[in-house]
Amino acid sequence: MKILITGIHGFVGSNIVKAMGRNHEIYGLDIVAPEKEGVVKTFSWNDLDENKIPQVDAVIHLAGKAHDLKKTSGPEIYFKINTGLTQKIYDWFLQSSAGKFIFFSSVKAAADFVPGDILTEDIVPNPVGPYGESKIKAEEYILSHPATGKQVYILRPCMIHGPGNKGNLNLLYGVVKRGIPWPLGAFENRRCFTSVGNLCFAIEGLLTKDVASGIYNMGDDESLSTNELIAVICNALGKRAHIWHLPKGLMNGMAKVGDVLHLPLNSERLTKLTENYVVSNAKIKRALGVDKMPIRAEEGLTQTVKSFANTK
């Protein structure tokens, strides 16, 4: 297939190219356009305006403004990028000969926290903050402009990890690598992750199988607690886990101090590290005709951690 991938130089785009570049003819669309192995050519957004993009069979829209925990970006930038660029590339898709469109939204477009035990696609979206709100606006635009005779997929992945990953997983890795005890052992939580290998498997399936258009959550089959995640990182590094079960009240107080002093542990990060966020991937597995994802959560996380060790 001929595939156009926006945001191709990012973490997810780079991994998709590695996984699918040999079997498909891949073109990129990004704000920068260096040569990339496995990519025929990368175009700019100006090229899209000037109708210089070749006709393709499918579009994977990854380009977006990631959730900024440091809050250095104003709300308008999220809507300009996450909503505006989605409208732009989707309009191009509607006028093109491409038959499939995959939009990377986020579980945060549906819910900032999971009401009940597990998040499914049936939830009435209630995003909190400009990141999730800009993603749901993009979803609404797509759903309000049906693509007759084409297939359109809105993917809502939970936290994606793999080689080149950045975010809270790197924070945990740094803590374990330096031998710092993990002080949040008293918080028992469960959350889902998305191995980039499982993500590439799902994308390949959506592109090559006759899957119904719709919204699909994306995640690994198993959920893990943060304490279990610490153990996975320790095993990958050959280290012994040091987990302290300090009082929750004490840690909440320290996080508030971190809010004032701008320390690595603040209230928002504490919440992200200790909240329950379990996501169902049953719908996409049914659509792809599989009983389980090819990579177990622990296996994928181990691969990610080892990639950190090889680059730091």
- pLDDT of 215-251, one tens digit each? 999 999 999 998 999 999 999 989 888 899 999 999 9
Tens of pLDDT along 68-108?
656 667 889 999 999 999 999 999 999 999 999 999 999 99
Q: In order of start, what are the domains of the chain with their CATH numbers?
A: 1-157 (3.40.50.720), 162-192+221-279+291-312 (3.90.25.10)
Contacts 24+ apart (CB under 8 A), 244-249: 244/181, 244/182, 244/183, 244/185, 245/185, 245/186, 246/183, 246/184, 246/185, 246/186, 247/186, 248/186, 248/187
Query: Which residues of 158-301 form beta strands (DSSP E)?
Result: 160-161, 191-192, 194-195, 214-218, 223-224
- Determine the pLDDT at residue 309: 75
Per-residue tokens: 27: 């073109």
pTM of the model: 0.91
pLDDT of residue 55: 94
Tell whether the model's pLDDT for residue 186 goes beyond 70: yes
Quick one: pLDDT at residue 165? Answer: 80
